[in-house]
Amino acid sequence: MKTGQEIISEDIFRRIGLAADRIQMESYVVGGFVRDSILGRPCKDIDVVCIGSGIALAEEVAREFDLPDHSVSIFKNFGTAMLKVDDWDLEFVGARKESYQRDSRKPLVMEGTLEDDQNRRDFTINAMAVQLNQSNWGKLLDPFNGIADLKSKIIRTPLEPGITFSDDPLRMMRAVRFASQLGFDIYPETFEALQKENERLEIISMERISEELNKIILCQKPSYGFLLLDACGLLARIFPEFVKLKGVDTEEGKGHKDNFYHTLQVLDNISQHTNDLWWRWAAILHDIAKPQTKRFVKGKGWTFHGHEEMGARQVPSIFKRLKLPLNEKMKLVQKLVRLHLRPIALSKEEITHSALRRLLFEAGDELEALMTLCRADITSKNGDKVKRYLRNFDLVEEKLKEVEASDSLRNFQPVITGEMIMQVFDIGPGKEIGLIKIAVREAILEGSIRNDFESGWPLMIKEGEVLGLSPVFTLPEFLKSIS
């Protein structure tokens, strides 16, 4: 393990210490930077605790680095200040102690000693401090044996865990998050407190809960975090729809896979191929409607007919409750949930160009995400079965590339537009325009015509005449009018 001087070997720490000495203020690097340095993990966020005013120290550090006054961001209500030096993000705060009321996670904050500040830290591995003043340069203060817990790969609270979690219930989510990120175990006494205090999470805003949940989802193996959340009861409180996936029913000796553990496997699978948070959310939600659509058909077995469409309809309400963005990210997840069975179905049957065109049309820019999700969705204890499905997927992808190259359907925009239809038939907006556009689109997707102007024009005229419309242009006249 590194010594304190090895942790703060960079010149920036020496200069922060010089600034602190000039204003006669004890200063320490604390928390995540110390932890990550010992673990050999990259970290550019530096938290500095001082005995006195963190704002005053930040301003002196800015002068040490010849930074303009406006470079210091001051948050007077919290007694903190932030600034950036090169690619380092620095935050300064005065040492403090806190006390809590039962019905609020907002603490009463008072000035304190370094010991007070370390006592209020969430976990032992985040409570270590290294002094920056020249008199004790590089002195490592580890009152709760955080280094020993790093060696043992343990998440443990500095003080009695029930009090720690009751005071700030978000720390329960952080316990699972750190265990997931670092691959650590949660100390038994600490885990018992998670189970006993999980109802306290109800006083925390969903925005902050989801921020921690997203960090768990972005871990290398996110299933570990979900299993911990489930085991301690937190998952049922924040994401009950997911817990409902658990369990296997049996009829006539036939069972179905446990969709809870299947979904976790899909999540781990897709996480091996992408760090995109929303692709991972699609993996989490792809089977979310299976409990509502589960049916047993005598002689056949279990079905989940329509779960992809019902799941897609549930995405907005889940995102809204979890305070996730109700924007294009949500629409991406919704589209992936809705389409996730389509490539799988193609891999099991004869592949037609019509089906490939429709998939290209509906997936659009999300085709890569969809195919990645579908590959992740192939889970089975039978390794030969998985290999066979993946080989079929290779064939589907090759066929998709061929069709895309010939038909340019990835971002399908029919050349026959609504404005063109109105101009050719000299009509205003109306249902006829939509009917003609649908007819042209379906003909292109079926392969009856190509997606070009010369192929679409005759069909547009034909469909218009069926609807009782008469063109006011011939093709040469129209081309001349728009040239």
pLDDT tens for 132-185 read 999 999 999 999 999 999 999 999 999 999 989 988 899 999 999 999 999 999
Strand partners, 302: 296
Tokens of 235: 């998952």
Strand partners, 94: 50
> Cβ(347)–Cβ(380) under 8 Å?
no
pLDDT tens for 3-62 read 889 999 999 999 999 999 999 999 999 999 999 999 999 999 999 999 999 999 999 999
> Cβ(293)–Cβ(277) under 8 Å?
no
Looking only at the bridges linking them, the beta strands covering 250-251 and 45-50 are unpaired
**Shortest CA distance to 80 belongs to which of 107, 108, 49?**
49
**CA dihedral (143, 148, 151, 156) positive or negative:** negative
Query: Residue 307 — pLDDT band, cuts 50, 70, 90?
Result: very high
Residue pointed to by tokens 């938290």: 47
Distance spanning both ends of the chain, measured CA to CA: 74
Which of 134-143, 290-299, 371-380, 448-457 is most confident?
134-143
The residues, any chain, with a CB within 8 Å of residue 388's CB and separated by 6 or more, are none
Strand partners, 255: 250
Tokens of 219: 């871990």
**Shortest CA distance to 38 belongs to which of 151, 152, 144?**
151
106 — phi, psi (to 5°)? Answer: -85, 115
Q: Is 216 left (phi over 0), alpha (psi -120 to 50) or beta?
A: alpha
Residue 406 predicted with pLDDT over 70? no
Total residue count of the chain as it appears in this document: 483
> Cβ(280)–Cβ(271) under 8 Å?
yes
**CA dihedral (457, 459, 465, 468) positive or negative:** negative
* Helix (H/G/I), strand (E/B), else coil: 393: helix
Residue of higher predicted confidence among 183 and 400: 183
Tokens of 102: 């039962």
Q: What is the spatial distance between Cα 441 and Cα 422, in angstroms, rounded to a whole number?
A: 17
Q: What is the spatial distance between Cα 214 and Cα 216, in angstroms, rounded to a whole number?
A: 5
Q: What is the spatial distance between Cα 198 and Cα 194, in angstroms, rounded to a whole number?
A: 6
Tokens of 276: 């995109």
Q: Does domain 4-152 have CATH number 3.30.460.10?
A: yes
pLDDT tens for 324-363 read 999 999 999 999 999 999 887 777 667 777 788 888 888 8
431 — phi, psi (to 5°)? Answer: -65, -25
Q: In terms of C-beta distances under 8 Å and separation of at least 24 residues, what long-range contacts does 162-166 make, across chains too?
A: 162/193, 162/196, 162/197, 164/122, 164/193, 165/193, 165/194, 165/197, 165/200, 166/100, 166/102, 166/197, 166/200
pLDDT tens for 222-280 read 999 999 999 999 999 999 999 999 998 888 778 788 999 999 999 999 999 999 999 99
CATH architecture of the domain with residue range 161-238: Orthogonal Bundle (1.10)
> Cβ(422)–Cβ(376) under 8 Å?
no
pLDDT tens for 193-223 read 999 999 999 999 999 999 999 999 999 999 9
pLDDT tens for 63-116 read 999 999 889 999 987 889 999 999 999 999 999 876 556 666 565 666 789 998
Distance, C-alpha 131 to centroid of its chain: 36
